[in-house]
Amino acid sequence: MAGRRIRGAAAGAVMLGMTVAACSAPGGGAENRSSAESVVIGVASEPDTLSPLLGYGKDGNSKLFDGLLARNADMELVPALASALPEVSDDGLTYTYSLRPGVEFSDGEPLSAADVVFTYRTVLDEKTNSTARSELDAVEEVRAEGDAKVVFRLAYPYAPFAGRTVLPIVPEHIAGRQDPNTGSFNTEPVGTGPYVLSSWRKGEKLTFKANPDYWGGAPEVKTLTMAVVQDDDVRATRLRSGDLDGAILPPNLVATFKDDDTRKTYRATSYDNRTVTLPTAGKVTGDRAIRQALDMAVDRAAMVDKILDGAGRPAYGPVPVDDPWFAPDLERAHDLGRARAVLDDAGWKTGAEGIRNRDGRRAAFTLLYPSGDKVRQDHALAYASDAKKVGIDVTVESATWEVIEPRMKDDAVLAGFGSTGDPDFGLYTMLHSTLAGDGFNNMGRYDNPAVDRALDTGRRTQEPAARKAAYDTVQRELVKNPGYTFLTHIDHLYVLADRWDGLTTQTEPHEHGFASGPWWNVEDWKAKE
């Protein structure tokens, strides 16, 4: 039962669809925690919308909706609203799904193929402000064959297409009567998932009630509350006081619970990397020698040890070192001497206070990080310290995302990226030049024709060896011309009251806490005897 009710990982670019929210109590504390039937989780942020038509749950990580497929604990695709994995034509252009019989939306209306067709066509409509549209670029046509079969026709063979069909399905009889961009469905969703939205107090909490008629069986946890608490220290304090049953926390605060035998710590490996964007428009950050020197100067191992307390891995690119897609022999040593030589050869001469200059321009730039994020702050400060050792002056500055977003073209940002499921899911949006400046996609406006060609090859061929070679090329080109300085891949850490059985973690994307975490399968939890 657990396997078919999985919420997969998130995609793409990181910060999309998330808002910074204020801290406040979830309310109703004692009654919410009176039994194992209620769970209150502390998370750092909340979605902008709960509509899959605008991108919510597009990677399968929703309690309100289901996709045709889902992902299990091992990140394998399994049937959800579909009764089986798709039938795929020999040319890789046609995917046929048969629907699971007897599934109903939470309002009692039956699921049909028309709902699936409506969902995908609306997302693909350019008038819909969906963050998922570029990820369905391969879809040429989607049509229903009767009430229980859906056929996708692709414009080109797209090897990981099945992984895109974790997209949640919405009811046409409700969402089809509204403007997808502004309709009430964005905050009053109806789905087929194990939970229904009970209330949403923006910036404070979202409360979900178990769907008693869920096709996968009624959940034992009857109430799930996601308390929006931006500050890490406040989440830890409220968890310690019993006001929260669980929370996502940074390593230093997780360590404070190590002797608490009433709570358990869970660690999830992830694709989530902490990375410095290096805008091509910058007179300093756009210089290849500066980029290469920073890549050589940064001490990734020290960041893992001192900032993450060992809960992570050095990042030598967007793909984690222990992933099958990681390019062989790509690890690079921390090498200050080589970094200085690269700058010397490029004409960056050491000047006043040890800061380099060339043609009257100082090797200096600003690095922004989001306010209140201690892990990113520590990464930014360590990065600036390493940069100064080779004569590059990095000024670290905190700001809200509202301030950061219009400055991303010109200023470096301590960002987070990472998508699970397939390399195409995260690398294309991060690196392809056609997406430069498209919101949080390709934030630094990276433009490398060799990378574009390799990304297109990886997206359009089904041959495994050709795909592996393409993504090897992408990773190696990022060493030659690093439009980003990749620092660490972080493990996600969670602390929860030890009151349930069935808790596990998945390999997680950048976006985590709200949807990912040990509660990815909360509908399968059982109270401990």
Supply the pLDDT for residue 96: 98
Given the structure tokens 């399994």, which residue do they identify? 78
Cα dihedral 41, 43, 49, 52 sign: negative
Q: Which of 81-90, 218-227, 367-376, 506-515 has the lowest mean pLDDT?
A: 506-515
Specify whether the CB–CB gap between 313 and 355 falls below 8 A. Answer: no
Cα 453 from Cα 434, distance rounded (Å): 12
Topology adopted by domain 273-490: Dipeptide-binding Protein; domain 3 (3.10.105)
Residue 383: Cβ-neighbour burial (10 angstroms; 0-12, 13-18, 19+): buried
Query: Residue 19: is its pLDDT beyond 50?
Result: no
Residue 260 CB coordination number (10 Å) = 14
Which regions of the chain carry the CATH code 3.10.105.10? 273-490
Q: What is the rounded average pLDDT of the residues 178-201?
A: 97
The answer to whether 14 and 415 have CB atoms below 8 angstroms apart is yes
Query: What is residue 5's predicted lDDT score, i.e. its pLDDT?
Result: 30
Most confident of 135-139, 384-388, 417-421: 384-388
Which residues are CB-neighbours of 365 under 8 A, at least 6 positions away?
282, 284, 285, 392, 393, 394, 395, 411, 412
Q: What is the pLDDT of residue 221?
A: 97
Distance separating alpha carbons of residues 433 and 236, to the nearest angstrom: 41
* Residue 31, pLDDT above cutoff 60: no
DSSP 261-286: TTEEEEEE-BS-EEEEE--TTSTTTT
Question: Hey, is 415 helix, strand or coil?
Answer: strand
d(CA 151, CA 352): 66
Give the pLDDT of residue 61.
Answer: 80
Query: How far is Cα 179 from Cα 341, in angstroms, rounded to an integer?
Result: 58
User: CA 111 to CA 462: how far, in whole Å?
Assistant: 32
H helices, E strands: number in the chain: 14, 26
Kindly state the percentage of the chain with pLDDT values over 70: 93
For the CA atoms of 188, 108, 102, 63, the dihedral, rounded to the nearest 10 degrees, stands at: 30
Domain with CATH 3.90.76.10 in the chain: 2-193+491-527
Please tell me the least confidently modeled range out of 11-25, 30-44, 290-304, 404-418: 11-25
| Contacts by residues 305-311 (CB-CB < 8 Å, ≥ 24 positions apart) | 306/378, 306/382, 307/251, 307/375, 307/378, 307/379, 307/382, 307/488, 308/251, 308/375, 308/488, 308/490, 308/491, 309/251, 309/252, 309/255, 310/251, 311/251, 311/254, 311/267, 311/490, 311/491, 311/493
* pLDDT-above-90 percentage for the chain: 86
pLDDT score of 59: 86
Q: Is the pLDDT of residue 8 over 80?
A: no
Q: What is the DSSP letter of 398?
A: E
**Mapping DSSP to helix (H, G, I), strand (E, B) and coil, where does residue 433 land?**
helix
Dihedral sign for Cα atoms in the order 108, 114, 116, 119: negative
How much is the pLDDT for 132? 87
Contact, 414 vs 276, CB < 8 A? Answer: yes
Q: Where are the alpha helices (DSSP H) in 351-400?
A: 374-388
Domain 2-193+491-527: give its CATH code: 3.90.76.10
Q: What is the pLDDT of residue 35?
A: 66
H or E segment and range at residue 225:
strand 223-228
Nearest-angstrom CA–CA distance, 65 and 194: 8
> Alpha helix locations (H) across 280-352?
288-297, 300-306, 336-345
Q: Quick one: pLDDT band at residue 131, thresholds 50, 70, 90? A: confident
Q: What is the pLDDT of residues 63-117, one digit of tens each?
A: 999 999 999 999 999 999 999 999 999 999 999 999 999 999 999 999 999 999 9
d(Cα 454, Cα 318) in Å, to the nearest integer?
A: 15
CA distance 176 to 187: 15
Q: What is the arithmetic mean of pLDDT over 162-186?
A: 97
The residues near 525 (Cβ < 8 Å, ≥ 6 apart) are 39, 219, 220, 221, 500, 501, 502, 503
Residues listed for the chain: 529
Q: Which pLDDT tens digit goes with each residue over 328-344?
A: 999 999 999 999 999 99
* b/e code 99-122 from CB counts within 10 Å (16+ = b): bbeebebbeeeebbbbbbbbbbeb
Band of the pLDDT at 53, cuts 50, 70, 90? very high
Query: What is the per-residue pLDDT across 375-407, written as a single tens digit (0 to 9) for each?
Result: 999 999 999 999 999 999 999 999 999 999 999
Residue 385 tokens read as: 């310290």
Contact 355, 391 (CB under 8 A): yes
